[in-house]
Each structure stands twice: as structure tokens, then as C-alpha cells.
């Protein structure tokens, strides 16, 4: 894949060597994310960060990643604050905003909307989540995290097993991650969800035809026994027609330390794209897991910064110039430690 000037819309665009390239550049970003060094390589560049759906970490992570490369961020958040409420088409918005920006990140509640937007954009567009469809940068940061966590245990992505739990029907992170894992060998995926919230059949079929071993289960505990990674997800209540319908599934699969101790292998890595629903009726990942060293959820968010910096550097073709435009930091910071929670 030629990254320069490319839109990043779907995991379908990636081959294994493209993922390796993103991860190699992400590794190089660590001194900048840890504020050991500062780079101005994107000085003068503007990111248009457009989020038409709720977001904390993805929006701020994209913005911070761009800032860490020396660029500026202009942001719009929420339909109510945009001209889309006045009936403007996504294409017109793209024509306008791509005149102001050098790259655009966008999140929107409709599947396919970010790709539609990209057709009229004069600058690269990165998908920050389009409805229940895809969330490619989350899948990349998830896999980057999986790779690091397994490497610490002397393992690799080839041959690994992962349980994906929760709302697999609407969860765009698992859609993208399932596709991404299809690029690796001898991967076993255990899909744990209520029958109504199963991963879409088309994704299961494409995973199986790529050689992934897929097991479907509707119960959580026994199914966790042999996996390396537990990847929990939130019931995507905003994708249901009523809150009552979403409530039927809330709290069905809760992981806590007692269940972990009884059913999981001792070093099973615990992941979640976040936000975890910590309300009493959901409690997807109990806070009693917070002291478990295998809880990788905040390492995921830290890694997200590295992966998004890498994508910006590749798309704007500065990956090999980041160090040239860098210098030491001059302020005290407490972040000069490895990325671990
Ligand atoms: C996810 C999303 O928006 O799809 N969040 C995120 O970007 N990390 C998952 C979710 O909202 O449940």
C-alpha cells in the first residue's frame, strides 16, 4: 500500500507488510509520546478533527498525536454545532474543510459515511469510526498492543487465540480487529455474545476463508479457558432502536477477578477498546481487575497515540524526517517511563 496521501477507511486496505510498516513507525514514535524529545516535523500542517458522534479518547488521541508531531488541530464536535444540521451534504462539507486542512479525521454514526466524505475531500481522510461498520485505527492499536503483550511472554500474533466478548454485532472495533487478525497465521477467535448480537456472518465467513479458526459461544466462563487475550466490548446502546432493547443485554458478560482466577490462564491479557461501562447494571470489566498486571486497557490507549502518530507520519510522508526536526525537551515531565499501566 502506498500510504502517501492515502485515505485510511477500512482494514480491507491493509496487507500484512503494511501493518508491519505502521508498527515499525509507531515504535519510533515512543520518545516523542514519552516527551523525551519534541519534533516539529508537521509544523504548519492542520488536522481537521471532525467528530459527529460521542468520543473522548479517539478524538483527543488523534489531536494529541498530531500535536506531538508539531501540527495544529481544528476541531468540530457534534452535529448540532455543524452545518450538517442546516442540510449541508457530507460532500460539500468535505469540499470546504479539505480547503482548510492537510488531513481530516472523522467519526460519523452512519456506516459508509466517512468513505462518502472522502470521495469529495482534497486531502487524506482517516476513519475514526463510521457507525457500526469499522474503526480501523482502533484495530491497529489493538493489534499493536496484542503484539507487545504477547512479545513480553515470548509469543507472537501467529498462533494466538483471542476471545471477543459482548456486542459483536454493532461493535465496529471487533469488526475491524477480526479482519485484521485474518492477515495472521493459525489464529483462533472465540466469539462470545448473545445470539442476537453475533458478529456479522460476512465477517465470520471472510475470517474463516482467510484461515482463522472461529468458534461461536453464548456463554462466557468456560470459553475463556484457553485464550491468550480476552477482548471485552460495550453493549453499543446507541445502535439499538430503544434503550429498553439494549438493557436486555447489559451486564450479560461481566469479567471480574474471581472469574478470571477461576477460568482464565494465569497470564491472559485483558483488553477493551474503552469506554468500559462501569455502571452497576453493566460492570463489563470490574474495577477489581485494575490491580491485575495483565489488564492492558490503559496500555491500549497509550499505544493508540503511537499508532496514530505513525499513520499521520506515513500519510503525510514524513516518517523518515521525524528525528531530523527534533530536539530535547526542556521541561520537567513525569512521563519518562516505559508505556505500562
Ligand atoms: C469504541 C468506538 O467508538 O467504537 N470506542 C473507541 O473508539 N475506543 C468502542 C465503544 O464506544 O464502545
pTM over the 0.85 mark: yes
What strands, in cross-sheet order, belong to the sheet with 125-130?
A: 72-77, 46-51, 103-108, 125-130
Residue 341: pLDDT band with limits 50, 70, 90: very low
11-134+301-332 sits in which CATH class?
A: alpha beta
- The mean predicted confidence, pLDDT, of the chain is 95
Q: Which of 173, 233, 237, 239 to mutate to test the pocket of ligand 1 (most atoms within 8 A of CB)?
A: 173
- Binding site membership of 138 for ligand 1 (Cβ less than 6 Å): yes
Q: Domain locations in the chain?
A: 11-134+301-332, 136-298
User: pLDDT, tens digit, for every residue of 139-187?
Assistant: 999 999 999 999 999 999 999 999 999 999 999 999 999 999 999 999 9
> Among residues of the chain, what percentage have pLDDT more than 70?
98
Q: List the beta bridge partners of residue 120.
A: none
- Binding site membership of 166 for ligand 1 (Cβ less than 6 Å): no
* 11-134+301-332 and 136-298, same CATH topology: yes
- Binding site membership of 304 for ligand 1 (Cβ less than 6 Å): no
Cα Rg, the chain, nearest whole Å: 20
Residue 85: pLDDT band with limits 50, 70, 90: confident
Residue 339: pLDDT band with limits 50, 70, 90: low
CATH 1.10.1040.10 fits 136-298, yes or no: no
C-alpha 320 – ligand 1 centre gap (Å):
31
Q: What is the mean pLDDT of residues 7-13?
A: 98
Amino acid at each position: 500500500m502506498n500510504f502517501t496521501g492515502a485515505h485510511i477507511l477500512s482494514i480491507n486496505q491493509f496487507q500484512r507488510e503494511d501493518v508491519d510498516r505502521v508498527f515499525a513507525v509507531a515504535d519510533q514514535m515512543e520518545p516523542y509520546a514519552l516527551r523525551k524529545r519534541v519534533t516539529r516535523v508537521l509544523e504548519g500542517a492542520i488536522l481537521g478533527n471532525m467528530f459527529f458522534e460521542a468520543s473522548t479518547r479517539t478524538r483527543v488521541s488523534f489531536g494529541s498525536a498530531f500535536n506531538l508531531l508539531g501540527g495544529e488541530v481544528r476541531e468540530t464536535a457534534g452535529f448540532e454545532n455543524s452545518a450538517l444540521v442546516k442540510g449541508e451534504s457530507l460532500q460539500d462539507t468535505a469540499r470546504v474543510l479539505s480547503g482548510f486542512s492537510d488531513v481530516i479525521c472523522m467519526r460519523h454514526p452512519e456506516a459508509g459515511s466517512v468513505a462518502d466524505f472522502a470521495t469529495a475531500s482534497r486531502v487524506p481522510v482517516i476513519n475514526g469510526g463510521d457507525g457500526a461498520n469499522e474503526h480501523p485505527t482502533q484495530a491497529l492499536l489493538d493489534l499493536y498492543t496484542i503484539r507487545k503483550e504477547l512479545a513480553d511472554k515470548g509469543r507472537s500474533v501467529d498462533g494466538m487465540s483471542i476471545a471477543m466478548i459482548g456486542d459483536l454485532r454493532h461493535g465496529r472495533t471487533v469488526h475491524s480487529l477480526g479482519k485484521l487478525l485474518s492477515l495472521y497465521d493459525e489464529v483462533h477467535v472465540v466469539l462470545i455474545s448473545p445470539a442476537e448480537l453475533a458478529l456479522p456472518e460476512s465477517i465470520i465467513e471472510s475470517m474463516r476463508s482467510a484461515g482463522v479458526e472461529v468458534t461461536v459461544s453464548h456463554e462466557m466462563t468456560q470459553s475463556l479457558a484457553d485464550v491468550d487475550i480476552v477482548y471485552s466490548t460495550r453493549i453499543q446502546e446507541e445502535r439499538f432502536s430503544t434503550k429498553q432493547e439494549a438493557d436486555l443485554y447489559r451486564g450479560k458478560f461481566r469479567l471480574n477477578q474471581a472469574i478470571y482466577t477461576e477460568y482464565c490462564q494465569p497470564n491472559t491479557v485483558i483488553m477493551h477498546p474503552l469506554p468500559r461501562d462501569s455502571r452497576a447494571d453493566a460492570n463489563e470489566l470490574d474495577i477489581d481487575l485494575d490491580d491485575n498486571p495483565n489488564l492492558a486497557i490503559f496500555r491500549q490507549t497509550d499505544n493508540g497515540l503511537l499508532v496514530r502518530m505513525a499513520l499521520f507520519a506515513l500519510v503525510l510522508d514524513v516518517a523518515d524526517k521525524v528525528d531530523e526536526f527534533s530536539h530535547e525537551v526542556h521541561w520537567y515531565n513525569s512521563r519518562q517511563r516505559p508505556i505500562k499501566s
